[in-house]
Structure 1
Amino acid sequence: MTRYLPTEEQRWTSIDVRGIPMQACRLWEGDHNVESGLYRLPAGLTIPSHHHPCWCQVFVVQGTMDVQAEGEQPHTITAGGFYFVEPGDTHRETALEDSLLLVICEEDRPQFRR
Structure 2
Amino acid sequence: MWEYAASSFRLVAGLSPSLDVLAARLRLNIERGWEDLGAVDAAMFRIQKIDFALSRLEGSPRPDVFVWVGRANADVDVALGILLDALGIGEEALTFRGDIETGFVDLRSEPQA
Q: TM-score, normalised by structure 1?
A: 0.31
More strand by share: 1
Larger gyration radius, structure 1 or structure 2: 1
